Structure formats: structure tokens, C-alpha cells
Amino acid sequence: MKRIKLVWIAIGALIIFILGTIWSNSHVTVDKVTLTHNRLPAAFDNYKILQISDLQGKEFGSNQKRLVNLIKKQQYDVVVFTGDYISEEQEDLQPIENLLKGMPKNKEMYYILGDKDADNSTAALKKGDRFYDLFTKYNVKPLYPGMEIKKGKESIWLKTNPYVGMNEVGGSEISSQLIQEKEEFEAQYKEQQDPFTIEISHRPTEIDSENPDLHDYRTTTLNDTGEEWRHWDVSLNGHTLGGQFRLPILGPLYAPNFGLFPGKVNVTGVHTIENHTQYVNNGLGVSGPLFMKFRVFNTPSIGLITLKTK
């Protein structure tokens, strides 16, 4: 009798887990984080950035209604889309277009690309490419190579990670034009006196070490022997889906580029090392084969980042 009772308890727990997982995967939360930095210009105290990442072709209600309604309830100053709007199995742009169509149009919006979108290609940042044409149709500007945001006499700088276009240097005419734009932007950026810099990239910028491939690209191809990446003030990233499958206490089970049991640094949440603060948003979609197309203890989320001065 006791064994039968335990079996029914186990079955009940499994049913609750399955129903909870289904509910969790179909809802979106707002991950509200505060990033406090002693170098943030006073004019940007309480400045809010809405980060939307890794949709991967997922729909949240008809025409993204649930997601759009949630976004409309938030107070923010600027929007950054941080890549992976499609997936390997879902290349249709309709889900991201439904989101763009419903977004409030009264704030500046910028986008970058993810590895699923264009394999870090710069070609998708110019007219004629389906990503560029779609985003600019809804007044979302490509954030490449960067942007200065001003408030009065003070400013912050948004910069993309150097790995964008790493396979295209010296390639097509489009790539050459973008490389020229990057050089002009970098020259302007270097004229600034110790600018407050927010690095925006799809793949996490590793704050505890530099990826060997990125190091080789930066030092060999870009001939950049400095360590500017160590001195960025803030990094906003996506890509990892927060681990997709997570367990209480243990945290993420696996993350792309970081392997099994990767921990949380570079994978999810807020971390600070040597005055460089990193935020990795868990994103909205899922990846992997069909039987793994769900999240565990990891509700889809958008990030609402509030910048604060110390």
C-alpha cells in the first residue's frame, strides 16, 4: 500500500512539473536589474535600457500579443535587440516582425545580429538584406559599430563587440564600407576622454578571460594589442538562454560555448569583475532538437536594466 501511495505521489509530482513547465514556457517575465557604476555620468542616473534577446522564432500569443502588452507596461529610455531572431529550424521572420510591428515607436531602438541570424556577418547590416530591411522598416537602427547617446553635455557610448564581421575583413564591398564606418567611429571614440562604455553583443563578453578565437582575431586581424575589452564599463549580452535547462541550487546545466555545468558568470545574470559589469539576459526562445524545445526552471524573459551612479 505504501509503495502504491509513493507511486501516485511521484506521478502527481511529475504531472505538476510538466504542467508547470508548459505554463512557464508560454509566459514572459521582466528581469529587472540595477547596474550601479561609479563612472556613470550623473545625467544617466536611473537611465533604463530594455533588452530583447533570442526570440528564435517563438510566438507569445497571436501576433506576439502577450509579449507586446508586457513591453508596453514598462518604462524605459532605449531598446536594444541582441540577436538570434530566428533559429536553425525556424527561419521565418514573421515572429520578429509581429513583435516589431507592436513595439511602441516613441523610443530609440537598435539591433545587432546573433549567430543564428547571419553568422556574425556585417552584410546583414546594409540595405537589401532581409534583416536590415525588416528592422529599418520599423525604425530600428543597426548598432554597428556603435552609437553615442547624449544627455545635455554628458554622454554614454554603446559599442558592438569586435567579433562582428570577423570572417569578412577585406571581403565584399558592403563589408569594406562597414569596416570604414567602424574605423571612423573608433577614431571619434578614441578622441573622448575616458568615455563610459556599454558593450552590446550577442555572444557574452567573457569578463573573467578572453575567448582565444576572439583574442587571435583582435590582435592579428585588427592589430589591436591593447586590452580595451577589459576596461568596458558594462556589457549587455544574450546567446546562452540562461542555460535553458536549470536546476535549483546547481543552476545552468549547459550553455553554448561554455559546456556542461558552466556556472553563472558569462551565462546568466549580473556579475562584476574589476569594475566591468556584465549582464546576460536569459532570452525568450529555445534551441536544440525538437525533443529539447523547452526550458526547465528558466522562464523566458526580457531585461530591464536600470543604470545607477554610486
Does residue 261 have a pLDDT over 90?
Answer: no
Whether residue 7 is predicted with pLDDT greater than 90 in this model: the reply is no
Contact 144, 125 (CB under 8 A): yes
- Are 227 and 221 contacting, i.e. CB atoms less than 8 angstroms apart? no
pLDDT above 90 (res 307): yes
The predicted pLDDT at position 31 comes to: 96
Tell me the pairing of strands 251-252 and 246-247.
Answer: antiparallel
Supply the pLDDT for residue 47.
98
Domains of the chain: 29-309 (3.60.21)
Q: If you average pLDDT over every residue of the chain, what do you get? A: 84
% of the chain at pLDDT higher than 90: 45
Mean of pLDDT values over 217-239:
74
pTM equals 0.88
**pLDDT tens digits for 166-175?**
555 455 556 6
